[in-house]
Amino acid sequence: MRNRLKTLRQERSWTQADLAERAGVSRQTINAIETGKFDPSLPLAFRLARLFGLRIDEVFIDDHASEESNR
């Protein structure tokens, strides 16, 4: 699963620590999600999408779904 977390965060001039604070998680968790090392749970993914005022599928992209739609 890919995500646009880093881009969206940088557009708002937020640091990883800022986003972590807003989402109620550690900076390490935000970094791991941004670098694709960790996929967040559904509640956290929704929380992050809400923070950016976007839908969850506008922040997180399912690689398999996009592959299937391209076929």
Partner 1 sequence: MQAHGRATANHHAVSSLTRLAIWTFAWVVTLALARFGPTQLWDSGTLIGWVALGINVAVGVGLVVVHARYLQSLDELQRKIMLDAMAVTLGVGLVAGCAYGAAANADLIAADADIGLLFVLMGVTYLLATIASNRRYR
Residues that bind partner 1 (CB under 8 A): 17-18, 21-22, 24-26, 28-29, 31-32, 37-38, 40-41, 44
Longest dimension (CA), the chain: 40
Minimum CB distance to partner 1 smaller for 7 or for 35: 35
**Residue 58 forms beta bridges with which residues?**
none
| Nearest residue (CB) to partner 1, 56 versus 69 | 56
66: left (phi over 0), alpha (psi -120 to 50) or beta: alpha
Tell the smallest beta-carbon distance from residue 31 to partner 1 (Å): 7
